[in-house]
Amino acid sequence: MTNNSIEWKKVQLARSKDRPTSRVMIDSLFDQFTELHGDRYFGDDPAIIGGIAKLDDQPVTVIGVMKGNSIESNLSTNFGMVHPEGYRKALRLMKQAEKFRRPIITFIDTPGAYPGIGAEERGQAEAIARNLFEMSRLTVPVIAIILGEAASGGAIGLAVANQVWMLENSIYCILSPEGFASILYKDSTKAPDIVEQMKITADALLELGIVDAVIEEGENGLPQNLVSVCYQLRMKLSSTLKSYKKMKPKAIQKERMERFRKFGDVDYEK
């Protein structure tokens, strides 16, 4: 394995500053987006954008991790690393969506939750754990879409969904390749050599059944094919949400729980 491997190239593409932000995707996919702010406990985390929008005249709740594409925008959004108040804001909007029977769509692009002292003092671990618990019990459909890098508990805190979709050149992992290499080899520079083993690219995760769909980016990838990608997403979201209208709330909840239970069903003899 070399630094020119297909898997490592996908890691670099997933982290590219040119990938569309959650705000770009929301504006491209939905109509009449109204942003809502604050967690009603501490403050408003700009690393999370969320609110109410319409898809084909159907009200939906949309929530996304905001990562910047410049030094200034990255500083303002903390490089997409969410604070506890961001997760609590997201959960507040999800519970509101459940109350009014709105489907939930999340967009994920984060290197992980913010690990700072202040975040830990305000209950970072509890905030993520609470999201996992509460999202598993929601009775409205949840669709999670991975736009770029989705790492650690920072990603799973918004991905306990009925379906998880990935853009073709995105990655989904419990730990970054650099962190994995640091633990396994005591050398973060070996990250390009272990990406294939980690199985964190969209095609590998689709084969494992961890994600449910891969959205093709085309030959030139993003952002050149943004219009095509958004068209695919809009059509797929529209048809998927229509199918959930026929399901009872308890059935939607059960489907989500069963999806995650299947992850442990592995044939280790293969």
Higher-confidence residue of 264 and 24: namely: 24
β-pair partners for 105: 62, 143
- Set out the domains of the chain in order of their start, with CATH numbers: 6-256 (3.90.226.10)
pLDDT band at residue 219 under the 50/70/90 scheme = confident
Flag the least confident range among 24-33, 64-73, 142-151, 232-241.
64-73
pLDDT tens-digit readout, 76-89 = 999 999 999 999 99
Question: Which residues make Cβ contacts (< 8 Å) with residue 11, sequence separation at least 6?
Answer: 171, 177, 191, 192, 195, 200
pLDDT score, position 20: 93
Share of the chain above pLDDT 70, in %: 96
Is the pLDDT reported for residue 186 higher than 70? yes
What's the pTM?
A: 0.94
Q: What percent of the chain has pLDDT over 90?
A: 89
- pLDDT at residue 1 in the model: 44
Return the pLDDT at 68. 86
Tell me the pLDDT tens digit for each residue of 242-268: 999 999 999 999 999 999 998 876 554
pLDDT of 220: 79
Question: Tell me, what's the pLDDT at 266?
Answer: 57
- What is the per-residue pLDDT for 66? 96
pLDDT at 269 > cutoff 60: no
Quote the pLDDT of residue 70.
87
